[in-house]
Each structure stands twice: as structure tokens, then as C-alpha cells.
């Protein structure tokens, strides 16, 4: 593709090497680190009318996702309703996804629990079920006590014992707390902690994480499609985006434009994705994500209670947020 070629030419004029190339040459261990760069949908969990996991519909979704150039899948992220699944269900869904996942695709499994001991145990089960890496959310119930000291202790304990690499996960909209920057920086030095998924959207913080962890080849993933381009701009290497369940091809295209330096084209695409993304996350949540999936040929269906189906007015709002940006 010509754009990328000129981009490389441009960069040499700017006298700074290409970011991802530069990252690859730096590695603080001899062993190769897992390359997380790329786009991941944090897949939704389809349920039957009785609220049981619907493995058939899940499988059909997976077959469609297989045709999209995702780097891999996140299973049991916030959009997978993991807090509503039993531990057994969480592991079983990972096992099911693993069986159907194509070669070369990464499976990142959410294994975070409130206690360190439960997280350690679930992490082991996730690895045994086939996870290539685990995504570990910050414990949050005792949020007043979840300072850097406690969180560093927790993630270190989990990473020490985990058979697979660990990715930190900060999602303040759900947890009510942000993994502090100094904790991220210190944890980035752990050989089994590869990166962070940051869903807070504070781009200054994301830039600073990249800056302060650059000696560690620490990989930052944007946690939402709304700031994906800006995150690439300041040094992120990929994104775990709810919207990728719906507009996966388009998010992979946005990735391609950012990585190859086509920022103008990227901007136009990025802007059209902000409102649909807000609709399926912050504004209307998982029920909206699942509704939009239906419109785009995937199985969404309803959520487990207490998550409620959208009202008619919310469905119309959701439709407007897609249609006014040319997606419906």
C-alpha cells in the first residue's frame, strides 16, 4: 500500500523511527514478548430466553468474527457480562471460544475477581482453558483502600503465579477507581505483566503511561473506540473496543489508517465512530451493544437481569446514533 511507504519516507525525514518498529527492537528480556498490537472485540455473551449461556449463538458470532482481521478476542471483559456469570461459566465460555478460534488469533481472558486468591485461582483455570493472556481488572469494592500499595500487591501476586502473561485493566466507569499511574509504572517492570487496557479515556494519562514505561516495552491498549485514534497518536498499540462487536471491520480499518500514518483519513473515520461507540458503552451500555449486534448480523439478544432491555425510546436513540453517522 502506497500510503505506508510514503509514511516511512516521511518518518525518516522527521528523524524518528516508526513507533511499532521501535517498540519491537526494545525488549527488556531476552525472551520474545507476546505482541498485543491490534484490535480486539470484548465479545458479548449471548443468552437463551432462560438466561443460560447460548453456546450455539456464540459459535455463530465467532465464525463471523473469524473473517475480520482482529488480533484476537477478549473473553469476559466488561461487555461479556462476566460479573453475572459463575466462575464455572466464565471458564467454560473461554474453553468454547478457544475451540473455535483460528490459528494466530490471541485469546485474552478476563480473570479478575475481588480477592487476590480468587484471581490467582481463576487465572490458572483460564490458562488451562486456553487463554493466551489474562486481563485482570482492578478489585474495587473496598475502593477507599485500593491504593497503589494494595493494587501493586494484588497484581504482583497474580502475575507471579500466572502461567500466562497478564494485562492490567483499568475501567473507572464500572469500578469507580482508576489504576494509579505510579502503580502502572511499577507493575510495568514485572516480567509477566505485558501491558494495560485503559478504558478511562484520559489521553494525557495514556500518553504519560507510554512515556514512563518506554524502557519496558509495555503495551497500552485503548479501552474504547471513542479515543482509539488519539490513543494510537500518543503511542498505544491497539484497542479493546466494545464497538468491535458491531463494526469490527471498520475498527480494523481505523487501526490500519493510524498505523500507516494516514491520519487525515483516520480522522474522518474516527469521527463517525464516536457517537455509535458512546451509545453502546457509556450512554446505553451492554443492552445497546447487544441490540446493535442484531442490526449488523450478529447474535446479541438480551442480558442477564438486572440489566434491562432498552426502552423503545432508547432503541430509537441508538438507531439515530448509528444512522446519523451513516452506519444504518
Residues carrying an active site annotation: 169, 197
Min separation Cβ 310 and a copy of itself, Å: 10
Q: Which of 39, 146, 159, 237 binds a copy of itself (CB under 8 A)?
A: 146
Helices 312-323 and 285-295 cross at an angle (nearest 10°) of 60
Nearest by Cα to 80 from 38, 47, 35: 47
Min separation Cβ 211 and a copy of itself, Å: 4
Q: Which of 76, 170, 224, 291 binds a copy of itself (CB under 8 A)?
A: 224
* Binding of residue 182 to a copy of itself (CB under 8 A): no
Give how far Cα 165 sits from Cα of 35, 40, 106, 110, 189, Å. 11, 17, 12, 12, 13
* Binding of residue 144 to a copy of itself (CB under 8 A): yes
* Binding of residue 270 to a copy of itself (CB under 8 A): yes
Interface with a copy of itself: number of residues (CB under 8 A): 81
Q: Which three cell numbers stand for residue 288?
A: 445497546
Per-residue interface string for the shown chain with a copy of itself, residues 20-59, x marking contact by CB under 8 A = -------------------------------x--------
Q: Is 326 left (phi over 0), alpha (psi -120 to 50) or beta?
A: left
Q: Which of 29, 31, 103, 305 binds a copy of itself (CB under 8 A)?
A: 305
Q: Which of 66, 128, 215, 307 binds a copy of itself (CB under 8 A)?
A: 307
CA torsion angle 247 179 151 23 (round to 10): 70
Spatial separation of the C-alpha atoms in residues 89 and 78, rounded to whole Å: 15
Q: Which residues are annotated as a binding site for pyruvate?
A: 240
Amino acid at each position: 500500500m502506497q500510503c505506508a511507504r510514503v509514511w516511512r519516507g516521511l518518518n525518516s525525514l522527521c528523524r524518528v523511527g516508526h513507533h511499532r518498529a521501535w517498540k519491537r527492537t526494545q525488549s527488556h528480556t531476552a525472551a520474545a514478548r507476546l505482541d498485543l498490537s491490534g484490535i480486539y472485540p470484548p465479545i458479548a455473551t449471548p443468552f437463551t430466553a432462560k438466561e443460560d449461556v447460548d453456546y450455539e449463538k456464540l459459535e455463530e458470532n465467532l465464525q463471523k468474527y473469524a473473517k475480520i482481521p482482529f488480533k484476537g478476542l477478549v473473553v469476559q471483559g466488561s461487555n461479556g457480562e462476566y460479573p453475572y456469570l459463575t466462575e464455572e461459566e466464565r471458564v467454560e465460555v473461554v474453553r468454547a471460544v478457544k475451540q473455535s478460534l483460528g490459528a494466530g488469533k490471541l485469546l485474552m481472558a478476563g480473570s479478575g475477581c475481588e480477592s487476590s486468591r480468587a484471581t490467582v485461582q481463576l487465572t490458572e483455570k483460564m490458562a488451562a482453558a486456553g487463554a493466551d493472556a489474562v486481563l485482570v481488572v482492578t478489585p474495587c469494592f473496598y475502593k477507599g483502600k485500593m491504593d497503589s500499595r494494595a493494587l501493586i500487591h494484588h497484581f504482583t501476586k497474580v502475575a507471579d503465579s500466572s502461567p500466562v502473561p497478564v494485562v492490567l485493566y483499568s475501567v473507572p466507569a464500572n469500578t469507580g477507581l482508576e489504576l494509579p499511574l505510579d502503580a502502572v509504572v511499577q507493575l510495568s517492570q514485572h516480567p509477566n505483566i505485558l501491558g494495560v487496557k485503559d478504558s478511562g479515556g484520559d489521553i494525557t494519562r495514556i500518553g504519560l503511561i507510554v512515556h514512563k514505561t518506554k524502557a519496558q516495552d509495555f503495551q497500552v491498549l485503548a479501552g474504547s473506540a471513542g479515543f482509539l485514534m488519539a490513543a494510537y497518536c500518543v503511542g498505544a498499540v491497539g484497542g479493546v473496543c466494545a464497538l468491535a462487536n458491531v463494526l469490527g471491520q471498520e475498527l480494523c480499518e481505523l487501526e490500519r489508517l493510524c498505523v500507516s500514518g494516514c491520519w487525515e483519513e483516520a480522522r474522518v473515520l474516527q469521527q463517525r465512530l464516536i457517537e455509535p461507540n458512546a451509545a453502546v458503552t457509556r450512554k446505553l451500555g451492554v443492552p445497546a451493544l447487544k441490540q446493535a449486534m442484531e442490526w449488523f448480523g450478529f447474535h446479541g439478544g438480551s442480558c442477564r437481569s438486572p440489566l434491562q432491555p432498552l426502552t423503545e425510546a432508547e432503541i430509537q436513540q441508538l438507531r439515530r446514533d448509528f444512522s446519523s453517522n451513516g452506519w444504518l
